[in-house]
Amino acid sequence: MTSPMPTPPYPTPPPPGPPYPAPPGAWLRSPAALGRATAVLLGLVIATDLFACLADLLELDVTGDIADGAGGTGVVDRADRADALYAVAGVSQMVALVATTVVYLCWLWRVRVNAEVFDASRHRMRRGWTIGGWFCPVVNLWFPRRIVADSWDASAPWGARSGHTAVNAWWTLWLVSLLAGRYAYTTSRNAETAAELREAARVMLFSDAIDIAAAVLAIVVVVRLTGMQERKVFSGELPAPVLG
């Protein structure tokens, strides 16, 4: 007669769940509203940059005439108008940038938390760097890009390979715009002669044009990443369980 199987001294462990569970305090929330607001404000940044390009062209034109020896009340009036437009453009850009930065960081925090729920293993940086990485010197040259790229990978469809072409293009132009803007500011601040002012206006025009391109690619990244997360949030999908 076959003896009955012995009862195990401890209960059988439950089957494993999804890999890399989200950290405490992470839960899914739709990023759609913040994504739309961010895209709209980035559009406002583009509009102010276009306005600044117009001011740059006027400044470039009048300083060129002055450098070539033109004079008279007509040139002085043009220079005054160009300087006034230049100042208004600078204030407009600053206001648009501050408003966009606030909303963009709210959006980025939302998508980062969602991405941790999707797959916490994708993230190489702690959550606090999502905000702090933009303001900490030196590391702000690559930490924000890594945060976005990791969130992009975690938000991609399960099993799909996610490329970083859009993210890399946006970040490259953003860095070029940042460096060009600082150089343009320094050049403009130190300019004294008409020729130097003309050169400063030329550099500023390049900076504003690059900023427009960077803002366009930022919109692409925001829209695509928001869309990927929206599909995952409402699909209810979970990663495949770990096979024992």
Q: What angle do CA 83, 190, 94 make, to 5 degrees?
A: 50
Tokens of 105: 């960081």
Confidence at 203, pLDDT banded by 50, 70, 90:
very high
Comparison of pLDDT for 13 and 129, the residue scoring more: 129
Residue 141 corresponds to which amino acid?
Answer: L
Beta-carbon neighbour count of residue 136 at 10 Å?
Answer: 12
**Whole-number Å distance between alpha carbons of 91 and 176:** 21
Confidence at 136, pLDDT banded by 50, 70, 90:
very high
Residue 195 corresponds to which amino acid?
Answer: A
**Can you tell me whether residue 125 is helix, strand or coil?**
coil
**Whole-number Å distance between alpha carbons of 44 and 97:** 9
**Whole-number Å distance between alpha carbons of 80 and 77:** 5
- Say what the pTM is: 0.83
Confidence at 90, pLDDT banded by 50, 70, 90:
very high
